[in-house]
Structure 1
């Protein structure tokens, strides 16, 4: 039995090493997200928690790994999804598929029977994926609505404009950090673990998680209301700065304690530990499923090396500006696109600003559509409204912003991928994949026009003239610049 465990351990280390080697670019990107956001700091602990769960349940597990080929059938479509995500720099696809492939690889090594016994620890690895950023806007809107309702119940006059709440004492913004996403994701990760350790019946799992989600959202709305109410009654002396974070952690702790205390009152009895069967004859491990797994990894690695890469310069080159515009270094709308082939920002005498950045469809470093690139600073600006328009039968999107000083700004933007134009980031990613598959050696680009007025005040004819001019200039600049690299 001990010899079998040593052999299993060797195969396990080899499997993890092979998986790490093939998906190293994706794993690096995941770790950068973990390190760059407090929302995902818990992801570092997920593998350790999964290992602890396996160790904690060791008395209930009949250790008899029998590698199975069935998970390999699921690996084929997941590997295809990863290749698409890798080629298009779509982090959601590449992150999820890489972790799922680890789960399937472990299931191949363990076999179906042992994988079933370790189903939850294997499933829990999915929380390594940094997901949920798309929930920020709806969560901000819910938090703002709850705050307004509670302020009105408390007798505090409040006027809402988008995500800005104005009370007699001042104006407050429900920023991205106030959405409660950190609270929600941490609650889901901890709550899922709590359910596994506490309940045996599926409906208790479901009821607890739904209650936890609802209570977390309500608690975050109450937290935002409480901060505004404290600032109101204290004449802005309390409620912000260090208080903001102290109250946030306090609310998180209280909500978790209350939910776990209530949930614990309905806990199911723990399963009776079964003594390990030490007399089970060791069976030789089947090598064909493992050979199939490593064969699929090898094919995936070879295909990933065929993806055409563009070598980006250390500093993006400057591109030509439209007539009448002079180059500027910064802007009050704080547009930011990093690691491009070219990047240029300009302003004219009417305080109109333009921005352009070009990228390879897939670069060795950097990408056009990523969480690190933005058309405006979400910390300084809030979206009041947006609408799609067309000039010369081409799609453009107009966004109206407002900051805490009450200043308005309108932004017109679009993405260009070869000859295709879109305002949707998902379509932009898809067009980049199609360009790579077609061997298109052109580049991708983003263009934006910023005007310090509201949408209603815009001169659309003048805006169209500038947009068409930039679009035409963009077509002439988009010459093949990429070079393949393995």
Structure 2
């Protein structure tokens, strides 16, 4: 059995960390930008420091020695493949998770199963570096709106709900994304996970506490939103929506966390004692595991640079305006799509608005499917009904939209990647991945037309004519 050499091991560990950082640097930059831009994820800066502190705090319980193993590297290959697909398609969820999980598996491979088990939670805790959860905003907003309406009715305040807008005698309130409670929920999970690790030893207590954290966070946010509306209603909007809005929110968060930790501490388990380390499995040679891990990283780095990236101009060029259309910008319809190669927003003599935008399958900045590009303003318009129609055997989506003022619009749109057409953002992403892997010399496009009428009132001939006009734009 080879003798453990600390200096050599720490040098190899440092080399793996540097190699991982170099390969996944674009993803790390993307994650850090989200941390910086969103208050929901500012706690992510602290996650590596908390993991390091947890290792130091439980250092007396770490008795095993590193015994490298090759098996986790098989999963690293899968993670790097997923990361490459996410990188090609500009899907942050895939790139962020696969990058962090790749790091965890690389470290596990060098540490071995026994030592990996003893440091499992600090290693797992790195997953909170990933800015995840944005997809939960819409359902959390709906839950908050439903609960607020119910509580307001119970308190005797009349309320009318239209989508995410709540109207009371004193005014109208919007359950915006900031009111969804996502920030509260994610911060609670990050803090609660550490508390659970330091407090409990039994798995069912960990599970029960974390489920309670989720439930308490959602319920508490519903009461927070209700009380803010109630305070605004009873004070004739004198209180509840100024600086005191934020003070009240943080006070409520602190109170709920204190209550959860106080209740959770009542069921704390005795602290564990160090166990003697018993290693019965023959380890793989450290240099072999290191070389295999670095080879995977080098191959991933090389494959990343095989992907063709389109250089993006500072401003997209204006597409040719077909006969019968007038180029128009600055209208109430603001769908985005300003960071592509070509763009045209136009209107015809009947007031129908048109949008055409062309992108590279992967660009050095900007993307076809992204949070900045919305075919309608989701905060102002609500989808009342949707249909899928076929034009020359290709799909076109129809959405009937309504705002809080009772105005209606009908939106027809589709995405085209090369010769493939879809109405699904996810499918469009997959088509872009295929086009890049096959090295196709084509482009990705979005085409949309907006009518100021209800879907039922839109004559089929009018719709067909507008879609035909949309096809002429290049």
- Fold equivalence (TM over 0.5): yes
In structure 1, the partner of 2:238 is 237
Single out whichever of 344-353 and 53-62 deviates more from structure 2.
Answer: 344-353
For residues 49 and 372 of structure 1, do their structure 2 counterparts lie closer, same or farther at Cα, with a shift above 3 Å needed?
farther
In structure 2, the partner of 1:462 is 462
Q: Quick check: 1:100–1:126 contact (8 Å CA) kept in 2?
A: yes
In structure 1, the partner of 2:356 is 356
Distance 1:272 1:463 in 2: 73
Structure 1 residue 91 corresponds to structure 2 residue 92: yes
Structure 1 residue 389 corresponds to structure 2 residue 388: yes
Distance 1:391 1:101 in 2: 42
Structure 1 residue 287 corresponds to structure 2 residue 287: yes
Mapping of residues 157-306 of structure 1, within 5 Å = 157-273=158-274, 286-306=286-306
Gaps of 5+ in 1: 278-282, 478-486
Q: Quick check: 1:67–1:109 contact (8 Å CA) kept in 2?
A: yes
Q: Secondary structure of the residue that 1:96 maps to in structure 2?
A: helix
Q: Secondary structure of the residue that 2:289 maps to in structure 1?
A: helix
Shift of 1:96: 0.8
Q: Secondary structure of the residue that 1:260 maps to in structure 2?
A: helix
Deviation track 1:35-54 (CA, whole Å, cap 9, x = no partner) reads: 22111111111111111111
For residues 320 and 268 of structure 1, do their structure 2 counterparts lie closer, same or farther at Cα, with a shift above 3 Å needed?
same
Q: Quick check: 1:163–1:382 contact (8 Å CA) kept in 2?
A: no
In structure 1, the partner of 2:56 is 55
Q: Quick check: 1:422–1:428 contact (8 Å CA) kept in 2?
A: yes
Mapping of residues 295-444 of structure 1, within 5 Å = 295-378=295-378, 380-392=379-391, 393-403=393-403, 405-444=405-444
Q: Secondary structure of the residue that 1:385 maps to in structure 2?
A: strand
Distance 1:38 1:412 in 2: 35
Deviation track 1:162-185 (CA, whole Å, cap 9, x = no partner) reads: 212222222222112211111111
Deviation track 1:403-427 (CA, whole Å, cap 9, x = no partner) reads: 4555444332221111111121111
For residues 302 and 318 of structure 1, do their structure 2 counterparts lie closer, same or farther at Cα, with a shift above 3 Å needed?
same
Distance 2:254 2:396 in 1: 45
Distance 2:9 2:400 in 1: 59
Q: Quick check: 1:223–1:251 contact (8 Å CA) kept in 2?
A: yes
Deviation track 1:310-343 (CA, whole Å, cap 9, x = no partner) reads: 1111211111244433223323243222421112
Q: Quick check: 1:391–1:464 contact (8 Å CA) kept in 2?
A: no
Q: How many residues align?
A: 467
In structure 2, the partner of 1:19 is 20
Distance 1:465 1:269 in 2: 74
Distance 2:117 2:167 in 1: 54
TM-score using structure 1 length: 0.90
Q: Quick check: 1:92–1:131 contact (8 Å CA) kept in 2?
A: yes
In structure 1, the partner of 2:118 is 117
Distance 2:375 2:360 in 1: 19
- The RMSD of aligned alpha carbons is 2.3
Shift of 1:95: 1.1
For residues 356 and 245 of structure 1, do their structure 2 counterparts lie closer, same or farther at Cα, with a shift above 3 Å needed?
farther
Deviation track 1:97-120 (CA, whole Å, cap 9, x = no partner) reads: 111111111111212211111111
Q: Quick check: 2:64–2:114 contact (8 Å CA) kept in 1?
A: no
For residues 92 and 386 of structure 1, do their structure 2 counterparts lie closer, same or farther at Cα, with a shift above 3 Å needed?
farther
In structure 2, the partner of 1:29 is 30
Distance 1:335 1:247 in 2: 35
Q: Quick check: 1:340–1:358 contact (8 Å CA) kept in 2?
A: yes
Distance 1:174 1:321 in 2: 40
Distance 2:247 2:448 in 1: 39
In structure 2, the partner of 1:480 is none
Shift of 1:152: 0.8
